[in-house]
């Protein structure tokens, strides 16, 4: 009986811990403010000060790589779940986020930014999306 209680406590403790996991929250003013500064420092040079991305971002460059995409409503970042955006930002465009051998100028920021800082950057990006994009993203992610 005691073992069952310990197992149940462990299971429910794990559930509680999962519920408290840090998350990307575009309504958290502190997270967004931190993300704004980090975005300006680490991301804007490629993805644009206004999240507009590089020109012709869908057309490959002479080196075969794609320009940095926009993160505003005109891009496709909002089409992806937070876990994928977090993984790409932390690890770069490597498997499982891209095919093996995929060449990209997107660096891995895992050695530069903490997990909380990466979440803050993503919260900042999401805070800039218009309401209709946020709603469309929620609908799309619910259907996955």
Q: Flag whether pLDDT at 123 surpasses 50.
A: yes
pLDDT score at 143: 85
Q: Flag whether pLDDT at 17 surpasses 70.
A: no
pLDDT score at 10: 37
Give the angle subtended at the CA of 51 by the CAs of 45 and 57, to the nearest 5°: 80
Give me the percent of the chain exceeding a pLDDT of 70. Answer: 85
Q: Flag whether pLDDT at 54 surpasses 70.
A: yes
pTM assigned to the model: 0.83
User: Three-class SS string for 32-73?
Assistant: HHHHHHHHHHHCHHHHCCCCCCCCCCCCCCCCCCCCCCCCCC
pLDDT per residue over 29-42, tens digit each? Answer: 999 999 999 999 99
* Domains along the sequence of the chain with CATH: 24-142 (1.10.760.10)
Per-residue pLDDT, averaged over 102-110, amounts to 95
């Amino acid at each position: 009986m005691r073992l069952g209680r310990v197992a149940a406590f462990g299971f429910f403790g794990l559930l509680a811990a999962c519920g408290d996991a840090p998350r990307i929250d575009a309504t958290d003013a502190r997270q967004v403010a931190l993300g704004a500064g980090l975005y300006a420092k680490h991301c804007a040079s490629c993805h644009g000060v206004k999240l507009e991305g590089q020109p012709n971002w869908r057309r490959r460059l002479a080196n075969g790589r794609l320009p940095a995409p926009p993160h505003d409503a005109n891009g496709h970042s909002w089409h992806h779940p937070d876990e994928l955006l977090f993984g790409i930002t932390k690890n770069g465009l490597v498997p499982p986020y891209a095919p093996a051998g995929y060449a990209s100028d997107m660096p891995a920021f895992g050695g530069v930014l903490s997990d909380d800082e990466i979440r803050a950057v993503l919260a900042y990006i999401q805070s800039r999306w218009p309401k209709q994009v946020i709603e469309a993203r929620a609908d799309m992610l619910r259907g996955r």
